[in-house]
Amino acid sequence: MEAEKGKTHKYLRERRPVPKEVTEQLKVFTKTKKSILNALKEGDKTIPQLSEVLNMPKEEVMFQLMSLLKYGFVETGEIDDMDEYFYYKVKDNGKDKS
């Protein structure tokens, strides 16, 4: 079968099933992304604050938040009064259409 250019993922999907862990991983990320962005929409937060609100370990919040920063969903705000933790906010022109 000759695969159509621009639709070759369909060609591979027939030959290589996507492992369950991979779809599971995507679900977790999408869920985490949503919860972080929703929490930030209610106000700028630091990582310890997000961790408390979301009941998620700080290192997990850190990793996911930094990834969202890299992907352009979040931006860095001011640093707190103790010069320890930065506040993070949803990027104004957020590409998040969810």
Q: Which residues bind other proteins (CB under 8 A)?
A: 3, 5-13, 16, 18, 22-23, 25-26, 29-30, 33, 46-48, 51, 58-59, 61-67, 69-72, 76, 79, 83-86, 95
> How far separated are the first and last CA of the chain, in Å rounded?
37
Min dist. Cβ of residue 77 to other proteins (A):
11
Q: H/E element holding 50?
A: helix 47-54
Nearer to other proteins, 38 or 48 (CB): 48
- Residues 37, 41: Cα–Cα separation, whole Å: 6
The DSSP secondary-structure symbol of 4 reads P
Give whichever of 26 and 43 is closer to other proteins, judged by the CB atom. 26
